Amino acid sequence: MKKKAFDCVEMARACREKVYEQTKDMTPQQEIEFYRQAGDEFRRRIADARRKRRRG
């Protein structure tokens, strides 16, 4: 089988493993805050990208 330049399944597994390692010892409340902060950061990055795109 040919080796793919980009393996989506492998990337998804690596992402899940990274998040698991970051959250495995957290309480449910800590996990909620973890995901809330990650969502806030993602929204900031999207807003920044949109501003840069408008400026050209």
Determine the angle formed by the axes of helices 28-55 and 8-23, rounding to 10 degrees.
130
pLDDT number for residue 6 = 83
- In the predicted model, what is the mean pLDDT of residues 8-31? 97
pLDDT number for residue 5 = 85
Q: What share of the chain is helix, strand, coil (3-state, %, to 5)?
A: 80, 0, 20
pLDDT number for residue 33 = 98
**22-52, pLDDT tens digit by residue?**
999 999 999 999 999 999 999 999 999 999 9
CA distance 9 to 17: 12
pLDDT number for residue 1 = 65
pLDDT number for residue 14 = 97
